[in-house]
Amino acid sequence: MSLTLTLILMIAGLALFAFSAWRSGRPWNPVHGPRMVPWTLICIALAIFLLLLLAHLLSFIGIETGQRVRTF
């Protein structure tokens, strides 16, 4: 995946994360009925996706994010 695509996905993911965090923080309105979209679950999934993209972005810079394997 290229650096440009990684940055575009990261910006889009941050925007969707901010929107879902805002929607999950709003109080429940009994007039409109139950919430049909699980905004908290979407927020958690986007946070995991953004962490993976951050690890991928750091690998472009040259920072190693994986575990080091010791050889004896």
Which residues, other chains included, contact 42 with Cβ-Cβ below 8 Å and sequence gap of 6+?
16, 20, 24
What is the tens place of the pLDDT at every residue in 14-54?
Answer: 999 999 999 999 888 888 888 888 999 999 999 999 999 99
The pTM score is 0.79
